[in-house]
Amino acid sequence: MAEATAGNTVLTTADGVPLKRKLRQTQQQMKRRAFGLVLPLLAFILITFVWPIGLMVYRSIDNPTVSESMPNATAALQAWDGSAGGLPPEEIYAIVARDLVQARKDKTVGKVATRLNYELPGSRSLITSSARKLSRIEEGPWKEAMTQADKKWGERQTWLAFQRVSARYTLGYYLAAVDMTYDEDGKLAAQSEERQIYVTLFLRTLWVSLFITVACIVLAYPISYLMATQPLRISNLLMILVLLPFWTSLLVRTTSWIVLLQTEGVLNDIMVALGLIGDENRVQMIYNMTGTIVAMVHILLPFMVLPLFSVMKTISPSYVRAAQSLGATPARAFWKVYFPQTVPGIGAGSILVFILAIGYYITPALVGGRTGQLISNFIAFHMQKSLNWGLAAALGGILLAGVLALYWLYNRIVGIDNMKLG
């Protein structure tokens, strides 16, 4: 139907509603229906993915231990100008002493001691023993009493560290995660050489992940090419062989490499039997970086094969034949015509393999030994054994930021729109 208004014709529906309004209402209903369909998935992602990551990032700066256990000392220390030099006045000594005694009564002094020990190694006994000794003292002078309880209370470095850990929020965990600390004057400085481990671990993790990604590309490319160019019957059989590891437990696959690679394992026995090495010269291929790389390449290889195969399957062989008919050699036709069309598959597989490799934990833990550990193993160590959750969260946050930065770089150079999974 149509209505004439001031010389203009307005299209309407059968019930007299303008057509434009009806279209807007229909589109809004479709959007609401689509949102309702994806709402369960959105809620699942928010609860199981976004919320834990946000909680991890918050935990890496959250520092409630001292501020909750010793609120009066926290307020006094935060008001103290530690950068002016010298030790705190008698009033702060008195407040800290009383709060230490109270924390001992509340049975939270152990948490305070642990937190200060993270910032200033070796100071756990300082807090616990001082709280015990000060509980027997009823009046000051508190500065003299605390320095008699432990001479470290007469050191400026102790008070600066105590001031830092008393802040409600801190960047100290991130500084520790990049091997930085504070010197005796409260200025940023590098950790001592024997304590510099995390930057090395980050670099090792990055190098291993890149190496495994390249190795997977080299191994997966001919496998995928063979699968894509064979008849369907053979291609399906090869696909089953590629997918077979997914039907086997990751733990079983990893421990099987221990059987194969250990000094008294299958590979060493074969090399000894063939006379390639002597029995006394068996090769150590497990519990080191070699074992980590071999096992991870085997486990992650299917994640490179599948995207490559899905892209190669869509490439018509007539392109290469046309290039050869125009005078190109088989090698040149492959490199100039076929290979560029497989780059999206290489990009998709590389992203999958690299992101999985950079956060791998089980395989390095089982076959890596001392030299084959990655940063994820130390994150697990701080979560499960040292209970330094703030440092573990900071290490995880840096790892996440690094992955996002590399993903952004990949998007800038290659373009995420060019990545294809099939």
Tell me: do 174 and 189 sit in the same domain.
yes
Tell me: do 256 and 370 sit in the same domain.
yes
* Spatial CA neighbour of 398 closest among 182, 201, 212: 201
Task: Kindly report the pTM of this predicted structure.
Answer: 0.83
Element holding 3 (H helix, E strand) = strand 2-5
**Adjacent-strand bridge partners of 62:** 169
pLDDT tens, residue by residue, 28-76: 989 899 989 999 999 999 999 899 999 999 999 999 999 999 999 999 9
Tell me: do 117 and 210 sit in the same domain.
no
Q: What is the pLDDT of residue 320?
A: 86
Tell me: do 42 and 75 sit in the same domain.
no
Please identify, among 157, 175, 195, the residue that sits at the C-terminal boundary of a domain. 195
- In this structure, is the dihedral angle defined by the CA atoms of residues 270, 276, 282 and 284, taken in order, positive or negative? negative
**Structural contact between residues 392 and 382, judged by C-beta atoms closer than 8 angstroms:** yes
Residue spans of the chain under pLDDT 70? 1-10, 14, 414, 416-422
Tell me: do 296 and 402 sit in the same domain.
yes
Please identify, among 146, 168, 195, the residue that sits at the C-terminal boundary of a domain. 195
Tell me: do 190 and 202 sit in the same domain.
no
Type of residue numbered 175: L
Look at residue 88 and give its three-state secondary structure.
coil
Q: How far apart are CA 356 and CA 301, in angstroms?
A: 11
Q: What is the pLDDT of residue 421?
A: 54
Q: How far apart are CA 364 and CA 254, in angstroms?
A: 9
Residue 291 sits in a domain whose CATH number is 1.10.3720.10
Q: How far apart are CA 165 and CA 105, in angstroms?
A: 21
Tell me: do 213 and 191 sit in the same domain.
no
β-strands 8-11, 180-182 pairing: unpaired
Q: What is the pLDDT of residue 409?
A: 82
Look at residue 171 and give its three-state secondary structure.
coil
Domain holding 142, by residue range, is 65-195
Tell me: do 203 and 100 sit in the same domain.
no
Give the contacts of 195 (CB within 8 A, at least 6 positions apart): 179
Q: How far apart are CA 248 and CA 234, in angstroms?
A: 22
Element holding 182 (H helix, E strand) = strand 180-182
Tell me: do 189 and 324 sit in the same domain.
no
Q: What is the pLDDT of residue 129?
A: 92
Specify burial of residue 329 (Cβ count, 10 A radius: 0-12, 13-18, 19+).
exposed
Tell me: do 402 and 286 sit in the same domain.
yes
Q: How many CB atoms lie within 10 A of CB 120?
A: 20
Look at residue 328 and give its three-state secondary structure.
coil
Q: Count of domains in the chain?
A: 3
Tell me: do 187 and 217 sit in the same domain.
no
Q: How far apart are CA 117 and CA 80, in angstroms?
A: 21
**Structural contact between residues 253 and 360, judged by C-beta atoms closer than 8 angstroms:** no
> To the nearest 10°, the Cα dihedral for 23, 24, 27, 28?
-150
| Cis peptide bond N-terminal to 245, omega within 30 | no
The size of the chain, in residues, is: 422
Q: What is the pLDDT of residue 398?
A: 94
Q: What is the pLDDT of residue 92?
A: 92
Please identify, among 169, 195, 221, the residue that sits at the C-terminal boundary of a domain. 195
Tell me: do 337 and 204 sit in the same domain.
yes
| Cis peptide bond N-terminal to 364, omega within 30 | no
Look at residue 267 and give its three-state secondary structure.
helix
The per-residue DSSP string of 346-401 comes to HHHHHHHHHHHHHT--HHHHHH-TTTT--HHHHHHHHHHTS--HHHHHHHHHHHHH
Q: How far apart are CA 257 and CA 317, in angstroms?
A: 38
